Structure 1
Amino acid sequence: MTQSRRMLVLRAVVEDYIRSQEPVGSAALSKERDLGVSSATIRNDMAALEDEGYLIQPHTSAGRVPTEKGYRYFVDRLATVVPLSEAQRRGINSFLSGSVSLKDALQRSARLLSEITGQVAIVASPSLSKATLRHVELVPVAMSTLLAVVITDTGRVAQHGLIVSAMPTADDINRLSSAVNEQCNGQSLSSASETVRALGGGTGFETVREAADALADSFASMALDERANELY
């Protein structure tokens, strides 16, 4: 959208709709906002904004309401951002620096946002289905169980128990871990699952094939997690 009066109309519609939760009409904008143009001109601008996907008209005789695209443009380009004071920045840094994990950081962030804005704040943890692999550690924890510690690009840490009929040697486990980290770094969990399964079926990895298959299954399961893990 070009830098024009139309942007002022979009801003007015978004702000009025947020406040009233009712479709916004051209006559109301002309009366309540000093846009410097007639109601007919505003109506034309609103029609153009609707054609461009920023507004929608619930029904023929109603005013317009913002679309997701309209809200996104408002937030990115039109909203007025009040800068934080230095004291607020120090307070936020101090509050969040005490986080001991991603979960703790998200909980603290939700609480902090609520306190600063005086509003309800909801924070969602990143969805594993859209994450990429950063690092994997394989740790023997029992006679027939390996613990896979999976770290994603979002900082999310997930743990999975891998059951094997016979525990591979420490050297074989380290060799598998190194190969997975080398070949799967930056891959989606779905792609990493396929890579690890192929890796386990390759020459030289016969002793860790069972562990590789179990790790591939874990990646596949994580890739199916379409929802954010938790809401705070």
Structure 2
Amino acid sequence: MSSQTDKRRQEVLRAIVTDYVSSQEPVGSKALVERHDLGVSSATIRNDMAVLEAEGYIEQEHASSGRIPTEKGYRRFVDNISQIKPLSRAEHRAILEFLEGGVDLEDVLRRSVQLLSQLTRQVAVVQVPTLQVSRVRHCEVVQLADVRLLLVVITDTGRVEQRNVELAAPLDPDAVPQLREHLNRAMGGQTLSDASIAIADLAVNAPRNLRDVIIRCSTVLVESLIERPNDRLILSGASNLTRGNIHGRLPSTLPVVLEALEEQVVVLKLLSAAQDLHRVQVSIGEENEDEELRGTSVVSTGYGAGGEILGGMGVVGPTYMDYPGTISSVAAVAQYVGRVLKGSS
């Protein structure tokens, strides 16, 4: 087969994918001739479609119907996208202005998934920065009662974690600033794993009046923040999944997908693998490692600031999604999240 023939068949496949994504209706050779300037006869297109079907790129659901793309067809289509659909200048400006309105990191991320779900009409997800990559900016100590403290750990990624500490004996309120100073001296600027070592050493050398309090504080911090980090997911647009058409695989797997999104573990694992700030990954159907997402396509990338990855973000939708538009939107929103975070650091 000549390279020219292969290129034409790639164009036929591209046209079938584009039309099917737009209509979710099987595509026939007559429609391809009418809608696309492919420069060949309908007989040639029918022959190309027969070859594409034999090679597994398209399939015919019913004897009298047109063809629809297979997962293999979507993969070839995605691999041959030469240009990502650019967003307009107005869209770029609107994205930046909306994200810059965020009051803190979590608000920026919440806004990012709202934007992604609106731009792509799919489910958008973003991973809140993992505690393992965070450094402690400040640890605030609030005395709630004689024998109860509230520790508020604020990280450089803007994440805020609160933990209660029960004491064995009443703590003199005048000792709270001293306790705060000791904790911040040990933890400030450190990753949480390094901070765990520092606060363990702190307990050994602490003043006698604070030793038991510091041991209890360090135990709570180590057990709840370091040994059991609470990774979280922010999600927007789950209702978009219900727009699935009967020709796609998504509706039959909808309950499983919704459950996976709700439980978060599967999606968090997938986003954690998005460790590239400059590359958008596309996983189609059976390419997804977890069975719960095998009826979907996932478009994801990393986001961060100053070259440091803070987490992953992306879109979950049916295999018949608008790949060029979705890839463009995911890349743009991740880029602007990084720009906003860098400007606020």
TM-score by length of 2: 0.44
Tell whether the 8 Å contact from 2:13 to 2:77 is kept in structure 1 after alignment.
Answer: no
Identity among equivalent pairs (%)? 20
Instruction: Provide closer, same or farther for how the CA distance between residues 177 and 76 of structure 1 changes in structure 2, counting only shifts above 3 A.
Output: farther
Equivalent residue letter for 2:52: D
The correspondence of residues 16-95 of structure 1 with structure 2, limited to 5 A, is 16-24=19-27, 29=32, 32-35=35-38, 36=40, 37-48=44-55, 50=56, 55=57, 57=59, 63-67=67-71, 70=74, 74=78, 77=81, 81-85=85-89, 89-90=92-93, 92-95=95-98
Tell me what 1:157 maps to: 159
Q: Distance in 1 between matches of 2:76 and 2:187?
A: 42
CA distance 1:32–1:108, shift in 2 (3 Å): closer
Gaps of 5+ in 2: 205-210, 238-345
Which residue in the other structure is 1:188 paired with? none
Which structure has the highest strand share of the two?
Answer: 2
**Aligned letter for 1:15?**
T
Change in 2 beyond 3 A, CA 1:18/1:108? same
Mapped partners of 1:43, 1:10: distance in 2: 11
Q: State how far apart, in whole Å, the 2-side matches of 1:69 and 1:177 are.
A: 52
Determine the C-alpha separation between the residues in 1 that align with 2:131 and 2:82. Answer: 31
Q: Is the deviation greater in 160-169 or in 16-25?
A: 160-169
Q: Tell me which moved more, 94-103 or 132-141.
A: 94-103
Structure 1 residue runs of 4 or more that deviate by more than 6 Å after TM superposition: none
1:212 maps to 2:218: yes
Q: Tell me the equivalent position of 2:140.
A: 139
Q: Which amino acid aligns with 2:151?
A: L
User: Cα deviation per residue 1:70-127 (whole Å; 9 max; x = unaligned)?
Assistant: 2795498256624524x6655554444333234544448736985xx6x857643x22
Q: Judging changes above 3 Å, is the alpha-carbon distance between structure 1 residues 89 and 172 closer, same or farther for their aligned structure 2 residues? A: same
Distance change in 2, residues 1:10/1:18 (3 Å): same
Distance, in Å, in 2 between the alignment partners of 1:5 and 1:70 is 17
Match of residue 234 from structure 2: 229
Q: CA deviation at 1:183?
A: 4.5
Indicate conservation of the 8 Å contact 1:16/1:24, yes or no. yes
Written as runs of structure 1 = structure 2, the 5 A alignment for 1:91-102 is 92-102=95-105
Deviation at 1:200, TM superposition (A): 6.7
Q: Output the CA distance in 1 between the equivalents of 2:76 and 2:217.
A: 45
Q: Is the 8 A contact 1:123 1:231 kept in 2?
A: yes
Give the Cα–Cα distance (whole angstroms) in 2 for the partners of residues 111 and 44 of structure 1. Answer: 40
Structure 1: distance between partners of 2:51 and 2:77: 19
Residue 148 (str. 1) matches residue 153 (str. 2): yes
Gaps of 5+ in 1: 185-191
Q: TM-score, normalised by structure 1?
A: 0.60
| Residue 187 of structure 2 is aligned to residue 177 of structure 1 | yes
- Give the whole-Å Cα distance in 2 for the aligned partners of 1:215 and 1:68: 48
Q: What secondary structure does 1:160 align onto?
A: strand
- Whole-Å separation in 2 of the counterparts to 1:135 and 1:91: 31
Q: What residue is the counterpart of 1:4 in the other structure? A: 7
* CA-CA distance at 1:21 after TM superposition: 1.0
The one-letter amino acid of 2:160's match is: A
Matched to 2:24, the amino acid is: Q
